[in-house]
């Protein structure tokens, strides 16, 4: 029976169980998988982590891979990029082989780091040639571009820059291999889709920008009662995020201190980096991970997205927009948003001009209120997770029906 006429069975291979959702990539994986399951599809999700952290109302069947990921040091000697090499444990391979004993209508590779599983899934597809599963790559970025940028722009020591270049070469090879072998490719922005077309001559099947499932603030007025404060939310465990944070704060903190502007950095910052930044900053406060951002948004006049290195859609944008916090951003960091939303931000091309614009606008209440009103209005009906899940489920089902002989 065609997948559209029965329950589509989907095996979802990920790097981790994405709960708690304390990073943008986890939010995207969890929400997209849940929205596919909400269409009536049967989704079994594999990854490292704890199933106990999953909300009880989840529609997904969660399978936690036993054991831990590999250390980063041994991964450097693998032919796989670090993200894939750390995940490719014997325990994960054994669990995947066990799952592949069953027939599947679709198999999802969630992010390029799951590419280590590609050969096993291709073999599974060949074994079920009469009713092969649709192989799907849910990409989070055009990783080749992202890692090339990281290798070029890194301000770290020469040995670390060499490590980044080596990882870039491995990322490029693995990502291209995944894209050329799957049946469906999804991207998070149209910009990423163009890059895949350029590097692999492969057309993306559909663009799945994130949805928003968080709080929506019905109204807000920014005036002198709101502190002269800027907020920066993120998870700063990843080397690219850390590099962006380090560079921005080095330039912004002395300027903000001079103009009596506070900067709240909300999210986990790696220990060594946190210590270094705390010792060298005056206007910046490091708040750590916060479950409920609502009071922090209410006490900020602006939010900043200083993503100089790294592409893709920034989920924090939606949190800011729906909390009615005006957004200051680097122009290239607004990928994936329609023009109406981009025009409602304070966008500049480099850190220096972005910081200058924040300083010049921090007391301009009329403009700040106009920005958040326009952004909210432009985004209000465009970011629904339910739509994304339905589009992906339909694409998997139609691709499966189009197989020769079906």
Mean pLDDT of the chain: 90
pLDDT at position 255 is 97
- Angstrom distance (rounded) from CA 169 to CA 377: 42
Count, residues in the chain: 406
Q: Edge to edge, what strands does the sheet with 61-65 contain? A: 61-65, 42-48, 9-16, 106-110, 134-138, 184-187, 206-207
Neighbours of 150 (CB within 10 A): 21
Is 335 in contact with 312 (CB distance < 8 Å)?
yes
Is 67 in contact with 91 (CB distance < 8 Å)?
yes
Residue of 99, 21, 107, 171 lying closest to 400 (CA atoms): 107
DSSP state of 267: B
Count CA within 13 A, CB hemisphere, residue 393.
25
Share of the chain above pLDDT 90, in %: 66
Torsion angle of C-alpha atoms 233, 237, 241, 244, degrees rounded to 10: 90
Residue range 379-405, pLDDT digits in tens: 998 889 999 999 999 999 999 988 765
Residue range 357-378, pLDDT digits in tens: 999 999 999 999 999 999 999 9
pLDDT at position 162 is 85
Residue 327 phi/psi, 5-degree rounding, is -110, 130
pLDDT at position 5 is 43
Instruction: Please list the residues that pair with 206 across neighbouring strands.
Output: 186
Distances (CA, A) of 361 to 187, 261, 357: 34, 11, 6
How far does CA 209 lie from the centroid of its chain?
10
List domains and CATH numbers for the chain: 3-211+384-401 (3.40.50.2000), 229-379 (3.40.50.2000)
pLDDT at position 2 is 41
Residue range 248-307, pLDDT digits in tens: 999 999 999 999 999 999 988 877 888 888 888 899 999 888 888 999 999 999 999 988
- Angstrom distance (rounded) from CA 64 to CA 67: 9
Helix (H) or strand (E) holding 125: helix 118-127
Neighbours of 333 (CB within 10 A): 26
The first and second tokens of residue 301, run together, are 């006049």
Q: Is 51 exposed, middle or buried (0-12, 13-18, 19+ CB in 10 A)?
A: middle
The first and second tokens of residue 77, run together, are 């000697």
- Angstrom distance (rounded) from CA 110 to CA 83: 12
* pLDDT (mean) for 223-248: 88
Higher-pLDDT residue of 8, 162: 8
DSSP state of 114: G
The H-assigned helical ranges of 231-323 are: 239-258, 271-280, 294-298, 316-322
């Amino acid at each position: 029976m065609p997948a559209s006429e029965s329950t589509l069975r989907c095996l979802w291979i990920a790097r981790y169980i994405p709960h708690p959702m304390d990073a943008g990539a986890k939010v995207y994986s969890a929400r997209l998988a849940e929205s596919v399951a909400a269409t009536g599809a049967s989704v079994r999700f594999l990854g490292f982590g704890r199933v106990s952290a999953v909300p009880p109302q989840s529609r997904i069947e969660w399978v936690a891979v036993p054991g831990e990921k590999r250390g980063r040091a041994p991964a450097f000697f693998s032919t796989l990029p670090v993200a894939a090499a750390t995940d490719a444990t014997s325990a994960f391979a054994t669990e995947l082989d066990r799952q592949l004993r069953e027939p599947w209508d679709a198999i999802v590779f969630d992010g390029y780091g799951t590419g280590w599983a590609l050969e096993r899934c291709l073999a599974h597809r060949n074994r079920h040639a009469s009713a092969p599963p649709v192989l799907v790559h849910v990409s989070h970025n055009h990783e080749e571009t992202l890692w090339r940028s990281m290798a070029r722009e890194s301000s770290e020591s020469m040995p670390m820059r060499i490590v980044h270049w080596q990882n870039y070469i491995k990322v490029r090879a693995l990502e291209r291999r995944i894209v050329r072998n799957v049946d469906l490719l999804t991207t998070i922005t149209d910009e990423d889709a163009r890059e895949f077309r350029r590097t692999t001559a492969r057309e993306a099947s559909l663009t799945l920008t994130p949805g928003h499932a968080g709080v929506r603030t019905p109204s807000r007025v920014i005036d002198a009662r709101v502190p002269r404060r800027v907020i920066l939310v993120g998870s700063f465990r990843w080397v690219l995020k850390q590099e962006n944070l380090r560079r921005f704060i080095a330039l912004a903190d002395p300027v903000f201190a001079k103009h009596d502007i506070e900067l709240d950095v909300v999210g986990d910052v790696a220990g060594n980096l946190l210590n270094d930044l705390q010792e060298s900053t005056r206007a910046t406060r490091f708040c750590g991970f916060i479950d409920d951002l609502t009071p922090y948004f209410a006490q900020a006049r602006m939010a900043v997205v200083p993503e100089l290195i790294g592409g893709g859609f920034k989920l924090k944008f939606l949190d800011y927009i729906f909390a009615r916090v005006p957004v200051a951003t680097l122009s290239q960091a607004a990928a994936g948003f329609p023009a109406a939303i981009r025009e409602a931000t304070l966008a500049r091309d480099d850190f220096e001009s972005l910081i200058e614009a924040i300083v010049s606008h921090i007391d301009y209440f009329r403009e700040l209120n106009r920005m958040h009103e326009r952004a909210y209005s432009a985004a209000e009906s465009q970011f629904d997770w339910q739509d994304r899940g339905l589009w992906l489920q339909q694409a998997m089902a139609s691709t499966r029906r189009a197989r020769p002989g079906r």
